[in-house]
Structure 1
Amino acid sequence: MSALTLPDPIAAYLTADTRGPDDVARCFTPQGVVKDKGQTHIGREAIKAWKAESSTLYTYTTEPFSVELINGVHVVYSHVAGSFPGSPIDLKLSFRLERGLISSLEITV
């Protein structure tokens, strides 16, 4: 299987996701937005809190298997397996990038 080529900010996010909330928050613009499970988190502090909370609830691994650019949004399809209900699942991560950082991320099924 060939390696997937992801834009640098997305690759950095996926690496940061294995490290912790501070690293994840630094991947976003100061007013970055995360939409996940029907909730919206705006700004690095809110994103850091979102990641900290989800990290205490679940452990998981993420394996991206496809990426496409649709109307300026990088859509990454990823196989996620872990200690959460419904595992494993394929998730759609929609990233909007701005100046080398993530301005928005929406996580959907």
Structure 2
Amino acid sequence: MEIPQVVERFIETQHSLDSNAFAECFTDNAIVHDEGKTHNGKQEIEQWIKQAMENYESQLEPLNYEQSGANSVLTANVSGTFPGSPIVLKFHFGIKDNLIESLSVTE
């Protein structure tokens, strides 16, 4: 399965629990939708993922990756310290200039 470099970095920084490096995968004005909340810009994204990393210590195991133009979907088995772990989630990416400009996480 071929995965773009920025999505590989996204996965790697999630595994290393490095919220700063994770936020660097995103454009300055990126938007993330997760668990019914919206996070705008790198600063909010870094705060969101830092808290999520501390609370859930989640790890992603890629199962499938599909791309159509600038939009793509990573399907991953996500495990961690959260109720219902593990769960299969879909990460819907909008990618621009090898950075993530939008991310929506769905079941």
TM-score category (smaller protein): over 0.9
Q: 1:14 aligns with which of 11, 15, 25?
A: 11
Q: Higher mean Cα deviation, 63-72 or 85-94?
A: 63-72
Q: Cα RMSD (Å) of the superposition?
A: 1.2
Q: 1:78-104, CA deviations, whole angstroms, 9 ceiling, x for partnerless residues?
A: 011121011110000001100110001
> How many residues of Structure 1 are paired with residues of Structure 2 in the alignment?
106
Runs of 4+ in 1 over 3 A off after TM superposition: none
Q: 1:86 aligns with which of 72, 84, 87?
A: 84
Q: TM-score, normalised by structure 2?
A: 0.93
Higher helix share: 2
Q: 1:21-47, CA deviations, whole angstroms, 9 ceiling, x for partnerless residues?
A: 101110000001111000000100000
Unmatched runs of 5 consecutive residues or more in structure 1: none
Unmatched runs of 5 consecutive residues or more in structure 2: none
Structure 2 match to 1:54: 52
Q: TM-score, normalised by structure 1?
A: 0.91
Q: After the TM superposition, which residues 64-83 of structure 1 pair with which residues of structure 2 at under 5 Å, given as runs?
A: 64-70=62-68, 72-83=70-81
